[in-house]
Amino acid sequence: MSAERRAVALALAPSVVLAAAAAAIALPDTVHAQAWPVKPVRMVVPFPPAGGTDVIARIIAPRLGEALGQQVVIDNRAGANGNVGTELVARASADGYTVLLNGGGTLAVNPSLYSRLPYDSLRDFAPVSLVALQPSVLVVHPSVPARSVAELIALARRQPGQLNYASSGSGSLAHLSAEVFKTMARVDMVHVPYKGAGPSLADLLAGQVHLIFASSPSVMPHVQNGRLRALGVTTARRVRATPDVPTIAEAGVPGFELTGWYGLLAPAGTPAPVVGRLNAELVKTLGLADVQEKLVGQGLEVATSTPREFADFLKSEIAKYARVVREAGVKVD
């Protein structure tokens, strides 16, 4: 090699070393994304078993695990109106092995209910996809002498403060739905908050409380076996799985509508290829006939999205529920 060529090689050496070092630093993320998952994925449900979120998780987790080639393990972490489990995922390693199945009650409503939250719904998560839209159902215990929304309103007006309604917690979607109903129907009912949908539903089935606005997955089996009576759904249109149950708007409270939803999220900073793989496999899973049949049977409408679409949707939902909370005058702290 000539002296001139040796000089050029020496001059380029630092750049070559730096480039190699940069490639080495970037390599683990690339390899990780390509290999993921190499162990089970934990799906955190921030509510107790038997609630709507838990029911959906148990429908999709087995088939999603098959698609990923690794088991998807459900981890119920209830507490503080969904905040405990949600914070757990916000603080988890952004490696794709911890994800969150959650709904608008926590992610979109809680930012307006709490003056301080241990997480930021927009900043601390990487949205993966919407999973389903969820009508809530107004159901009563069979001991309540009302077979329609109009009859329930008439009963509540004859007996102000005598009817009580359960919720999965102060500030939950169930609580907000009932408060909006009270305002629009001009009735007085007493709120009985519980720590999760499961305990509230148990007391409703036992006749300890009179009624609840609950997620369709958690109550429709009990409606079908006659242990509860459905009076109306909270969506703008009737639900395909329960075409005989009217909307609350058409049954006596014009303009009433509050639709819940569920989605899958990962911690912020999760590699984009991992989020993309999760999205692709989740969308495929939700397209399976048996999964759709089970979700629709629970009164849900399957809904998927891209990560970007879900991020935009979440932002709009936070703004919407800020107005609902303000108008209902609900505050947790």
> 112-164 pLDDT, tens per residue?
988 899 999 999 999 999 999 988 899 999 999 999 999 999 999 999 999 99
**Which range, of 24-28, 166-170, 214-218, averages the lowest pLDDT?**
24-28
Q: What is the pLDDT of residues 21-62, one digit of tens each?
A: 444 454 445 445 568 999 999 999 999 898 889 999 999 999
Domain count, the chain: 2
Q: Indicate whether 80 pLDDT > 90.
A: no
Question: What letter represents residue 263's amino acid?
Answer: G
Tell me: do 149 and 66 sit in the same domain: no
- Whether pLDDT at 18 is above 80: no
228 compared with 20, residue with greater pLDDT = 228
User: With contact defined as beta carbons under 8 Å apart, do 126 and 275 qualify?
Assistant: yes
Of the pLDDT bands very low, low, confident and very high (cuts 50, 70, 90), residue 195 is confident
Question: Which has more confidence, 252 or 171?
Answer: 252
> The CATH number of the domain where 212 resides is what?
3.40.190.10
Domain contains 46: yes
Specify if 245 maps to a domain.
no
Same-domain status, 152 and 121: no
- Which of 285, 258, 260 shows the shortest CA–CA distance to 52? 260
Task: Specify if 74 maps to a domain.
Answer: yes
pLDDT score, position 16: 44
What is the b/e burial string over 301-319, where b = at least 16 CB atoms within 10 angstroms of the residue's CB? Answer: bebbbebeebbebbeebbe
Kindly report, residue by residue over 281-296, the tens digit of the pLDDT: 999 999 999 999 999 8
Residue 82 has phi, psi (to 5 degrees) of 90, -10
- Domain residues for the domain of 208 are 135-233
